[in-house]
Amino acid sequence: MSVTFRQLAPTFAAEVSGIDCRQPLSQDQIAAVEAGMDQYAVLVFRDQTITDEQQLAFTMQFGELENYNSGGHIRKRADSRLGAGIADFSNLDKNGNIMSDQDRVWFFKLGDRLWHSDSSFRPVPARYSLLSGRVLPSWGANTEFADMRAAYNALDERTKAEVEDLVCLHSLMYSREAIGFTDLTEEERASFQPVRQRLVRVHPVTGHRSLFLSSHAGAIEGQTIPEARMFLRDLTEHATQREFVYSHSWRPFDLVMWDNRTTMHRARRFDRNEVRDVRRTTLAGDVITIEQEAAAAD
């Protein structure tokens, strides 16, 4: 079966046909999906009734899993419902009950409703994320994506020159502070030390420039905090205008795969008394963004 793509938004995102994510892929299929990722940055695979094991196996055909043994992130809870390699993005606790609205884990999850790029707070940020929708609420809970290549392209020339060599500092502390969640433990503060990321990334395959924005970014080197925060807010407003956004309305067993290097995303509201069970696998990046050639070719 050949792999085909149907574009979903003006500049990016596509629905994929011809792939069964439960089965091992051929080299041609892997190449087709990777080419689709390079072109569309967000791919939607419908009706993929996969298990956690199948999701892991599918993911690992595209690279190495992100490893969570270093700092900068929330440590996987020892009492997680799910096995190694699968991140629980549900609103369920270890017993499968809906989390309390007082649960600190819930506060961390609420921060995912801010526009961000996964793991931008780690020295080597994530490449692809894959989210499988298992149980979805009856209302809301869309995941929205913004095309950071189109957003970059639409900047005026003066702003392009201004952002070209800027380096931002990213930390989970900044994004949680933005929603008023500042009650972090000493251990969390120590592991959330800011990391440096270039504001403009060059895609290693396509050479396209994109804005590497994220709510985890809270400072720009060489600028005061107020100056930096206003500039980042201004760029984020620009980059998340409707014309650059695809809003994914979930059906059970959609599998959505996105490139964190060229997109931002955010979760949308839903009724917290309903179950949302979504599970993520994440592929490690291989680029330290500040080491990227400043003058890489277009």
Residues at the site binding Mn ion, with contacts judged by CB under 5 A? 118
Q: Do residues 16 and 4 make contact, with C-beta atoms less than 8 angstroms apart?
A: yes
Q: Do residues 11 and 244 make contact, with C-beta atoms less than 8 angstroms apart?
A: yes
Alpha carbon distance 190, 227 (integer Å): 26
How many residues are given for the chain? 298
Question: Smallest distance, Å, CB 19 to Mn ion?
Answer: 23
Residues sharing a CB contact under 8 Å with residue 242, sequence separation 6 or more, in sequence order: none
Q: Do residues 238 and 123 make contact, with C-beta atoms less than 8 angstroms apart?
A: no
Which run of H or of E encompasses 42? strand 42-45
- Pick 88 or 118: Cβ nearer Mn ion: 118
- Pick 175 or 191: Cβ nearer Mn ion: 175
Question: Smallest distance, Å, CB 280 to Mn ion?
Answer: 8
- Pick 6 or 75: Cβ nearer Mn ion: 75
**Apex CA 296: angle with CA 293 and CA 298, to 5°?**
155
Question: Smallest distance, Å, CB 111 to Mn ion?
Answer: 9
Per the structure block, which two tokens stand in for 126? 């994530």
Q: 186-218 burial, b for 16+ CB within 10 Å, e for fewer?
A: eebeebbebbebbbbbbbeeeebbbbbbbbbbb
Q: Do residues 133 and 250 make contact, with C-beta atoms less than 8 angstroms apart?
A: yes
- Pick 35 or 105: Cβ nearer Mn ion: 105
Question: Smallest distance, Å, CB 93 to Mn ion?
Answer: 20
- Pick 12 or 128: Cβ nearer Mn ion: 128
Per the structure block, which two tokens stand in for 211? 């804005």
Query: Which pairing describes strands 245-248 and 143-147: parallel, antiparallel, or unpaired?
Result: antiparallel
Q: Do residues 263 and 148 make contact, with C-beta atoms less than 8 angstroms apart?
A: yes
Q: Do residues 43 and 26 make contact, with C-beta atoms less than 8 angstroms apart?
A: no
Question: Smallest distance, Å, CB 34 to Mn ion?
Answer: 21
- Pick 5 or 115: Cβ nearer Mn ion: 115
Question: Smallest distance, Å, CB 266 to Mn ion?
Answer: 8
Question: Smallest distance, Å, CB 61 to Mn ion?
Answer: 21
Question: Smallest distance, Å, CB 169 to Mn ion?
Answer: 19
- Pick 118 or 259: Cβ nearer Mn ion: 118
Alpha helices in the chain (DSSP H): 27-40, 52-60, 104-110, 148-153, 157-163, 172-178, 186-191, 225-239
- Pick 32 or 111: Cβ nearer Mn ion: 111
Residue nearest to Mn ion (CB): 118
